Chains A and B, each alone.
Chain A
Amino acid sequence: QKEVEQNSGPLSVPEGAIASLNCTYSDRGSQSFFWYRQYSGKSPELIMSIYSNGDKEDGRFTAQLNKASQYVSLLIRDSQPSDSATYLCAVNPSGGYNKLIFGAGTRLAVHP
């Protein structure tokens, strides 16, 4: 079992729709969770961090965390073609707030 799992996609949504990206993790002691956006050929860009169960909203983005289910998600409202990218879920494993363990990413395609 991979430590951080994401559906590779592509997830295709029409412009203006809500895109829902999901991630599960295996380390029950994980404390910090992050979503990065990565455009093709570029480096990851941090878009959301979440540390507590529940929802965290920032503009069009909402991160949701459920530690009991070991599940974290990212919702993108009013999706735009410029949101088309790979979204990486990253987790700080238990034992220290050091390295990040990344999923392989979900490719999102927003079509006009």
Chain B
Amino acid sequence: DTGVSQDPRHKITKRGQNVTFRCDPISEHNRLYWYRQTLGQGPEFLTYFQNEAQLEKSRLLSDRFSAERPKGSFSTLEIQRTEQGDSAMYLCASSLTGVGLVGLYEQYFGPGTRLTVT
């Protein structure tokens, strides 16, 4: 059973460039979440999908950020015109929803993508 995977693991970019990250959830999971974590803080929710539908976006998600999950499988998170404040670990998690399931709503995280904006 493979876990959540993310690519790339590290990204260094110059301010103003666009970056895109990919997340592959656990295969049977229908929900996919994006979080951002900075040093010394817990992860902060950005957005989540149920299947291909994006159901909630945080106010943290400015118009420079866009996320997609086109076929309800993998997801991409794009940051346009990166700023130094975007430097963080970007975490993807997945979960399985369904009435009566054991471990309902437990979210499992991928290894993260560490973004450094210079």
Contact = CB atoms under 8 A, between A and B. Distances in A.
B108 to A, nearest CB: 6
Chain A interface size range: 20 to 34
Contacts of A4: 42
Interface string A27-68: 000001010100000111110010000000000000000000
Interface in A1-31: 4, 8
Interface string A91-108: 010000111111111000
Nearest to A89: B42
Nearest to B47: A99
Contacts, number: 55
B48 interface: yes
Contacts of B41: 104-105
A100 B111 contact: no
Contact of A92 (B42, B105, B110, B111): B105
Contact of A44 (B44, B55, B91): B91
Contacts of A97: 97, 104-105
Contacts of A102: 42-44
22 contacts: A8-B40, A32-B104, A32-B105, A42-B111, A43-B89, A43-B109, A43-B110, A44-B91, A45-B109, A46-B108, A46-B109, A49-B103, A88-B42, A92-B105, A97-B105, A98-B56, A99-B33, A100-B33, A101-B45, A102-B42, A104-B42, A105-B42
Interface of A: 4, 8, 32, 34, 36, 42-46, 49, 88, 90, 92, 97-105
Interface of B: 33, 35, 40-45, 48, 55-56, 58, 89, 91, 97, 103-112
